[in-house]
Amino acid sequence: MIFVDSSAFFAILSASDINHQRADSCLRNLRKEGQTLLTNNYIIVESITLVQRRLGLENVRHFQENILPLLETGWMDEEQHNSAVEAVFQAKRRGVSLVDCSAFETMRRLGIETVFTFDKHFHGRGYEVIP
């Protein structure tokens, strides 16, 4: 199972993103390999907000109708949310967001070690980062 982060979603959707070609190719390869892809609802909210603000509603619709159906979604419950908030406090840094910590929590809970992302915070936590 591979976790997909908002930075990968944005790169897939934005043709002008520096990582667009790599992201698009990576997604296609992962699908061909039959990899199970997963994200969580906090990443979805962050992605929709980012795409709507920077790329417009048509891209949000494309994300919702064509990208999200390719993935499973892990839904954060109250306990997981509280664990992610606590991880923000433990990080003692402004650069680690609640959304990042929600991803770390989902990955920890499900035993996921690989993440499709362009966010350096994941590598710093010891996860295998692709592409």
Q: How many domains does the chain have?
A: 1
DSSP 2-15: EEE-HHHHHHHH-T
Q: How far is CA 62 from CA 29, 42, 105, in A?
A: 20, 18, 27
Kindly state the helix (H) or strand (E) to which residue 88 belongs, with its residue range.
helix 78-91
* Domain enclosing residue 84, as ranges: 2-130
Output the six-digit token pair for 23. Answer: 């992201």
Per residue of the chain (131 residues), give pLDDT as tens: 999 999 999 999 999 999 999 999 999 999 999 999 999 999 999 999 999 999 999 999 999 999 999 999 999 999 999 999 999 999 887 778 999 999 999 999 999 999 999 998 898 889 999 99
Question: Per residue in 12-41, pLDDT tens?
Answer: 999 999 999 999 999 999 999 999 999 999
Exposed/middle/buried for residue 115 (C-beta within 10 Å: 0-12, 13-18, 19+): buried
CATH number at residue 15: 3.40.50.1010
